[in-house]
Amino acid sequence: MTGLAFVLVLTSAFMHASWNLLAKRAGGGMAMVWLFSTVAAIIYLPVAVAIFFIQRPVLEGSHLLFIAGSVVLHIVYYFLLQRGYSTGDLSLVYPLARGTGPLLSILGAIILFSERPSPAVLVGAVFVTIGVLILTGNPLALRSQKAAPAVVYGLLCGLSIAAYTLWDKQAVSGLLIPPVIFTWAGNAAQAFLLAPNAYRHRDQVRNAWANHRREVFGIGILDSLSYILFLIALAVGTVSNLAPVRQTSILIGAFLGARLLSEEASRRRLIAAGVMLAGLLALAFG
C-alpha cells in the first residue's frame, strides 16, 4: 500500500468517526439523513461542476448505471442495518456488519479483481476485524437463540458493505468516474429519493433544522469528504489493503465518544486499540 493511500484512508476514518459523533449528538432519523444529503448535494455541486469541466470525464450509460447502482447498494445497507436494529441488539448487528464487511471485500477483490494480498495483509485484516468485535461486540451473545435474526442481518449488512465497496472500486478505478462527481451524484440521488418521506414528516425536518443546523452542515461536509478520500485511495490502491483500514473509524469514534461525550473508556477499548494497531501496522507494511 502506498503511503498516500494509507494516509487518505486514515483521514477518511477520522472524518467518518467525527460525523458519526455529530449524528449521535443530534439524534438520527430519516429527517437528518435527508437534510445532510441535501446540504451535501448543494455544497459539493460547485466542486463537482468545476471538476467536470476541468477533467471532462466521459459519462456514458455504463457510468450512470454504476452511479445508480451505488445509490441502491447504499440504501440496501441502511435498510438492512435498520431492520437488524429492530430485530436484535446493536451490539450484535453493528460489529458483525463492520467486522465481516472488510473480510468479504477482500474475498471479492481476490475473485473479481485478481488481487493477491500478502500474508501480512491478511493477518492485518483479521486483526482489525477482531479489534472491531472486541470493541463493540460480545461474542458469547452469538450463542443465544434470540441472536439468530441479528446475526442474519449483521451478516447481510457485511455482505452489502462488501458489495458497495467492490462496486465503487470498479466505478472509480475501472470506469474512472471522478470520486467527487460520484459522491455528489449519490447524495443528490439520495436526497431526491428521500424527498417524499421528508415531505410527509416535514415537522420533523423543521425541528431537526431548527435545533441541529450546525450538525447538519458538519455531517453534510464530513460524510461526503470522508467517502471522497476513501474513493481516491481506492482508485490508486487495492481493496485488500484499504477496506480494513477504514474500519478504524469505529475505534476513533469510541475514543472521541469517551473524550467528548464523557462515555466510559473501558479496558476493553484499550485491548481493542492494541489489536487494531497491530493490524494497521501489518496492513501498512504488508
| 261/123 Cα distance (integer angstroms) | 33
State residue 131's pLDDT score: 80
State residue 137's pLDDT score: 58
Nearest to 122 by CA among 244, 213, 36: 244
User: pLDDT tens string for the chain (286 positions)?
Assistant: 678 898 999 999 899 888 878 887 777 678 888 999 999 999 999 999 999 999 999 888 999 999 999 999 988 887 887 777 777 666 667 777 777 888 899 999 999 999 999 898 888 888 888 887 776 655 555 556 566 777 788 889 889 999 999 999 999 999 999 999 999 999 999 899 989 999 999 999 999 999 999 999 999 999 999 999 999 999 999 998 898 888 787 777 767 766 665 555 567 777 877 888 888 888 877 6
User: 279 near 125, Cβ under 8 Å?
Assistant: yes
CB atoms within 10 A of CB 43: 16
State residue 283's pLDDT score: 80
State residue 213's pLDDT score: 93
Domain boundaries, the chain: 3-285
Burial of 52 per CB tally in 10 Å (0-12, 13-18, 19+): middle
| 276/22 Cα distance (integer angstroms) | 24
* Block residue for cell numbers 494497531: 277
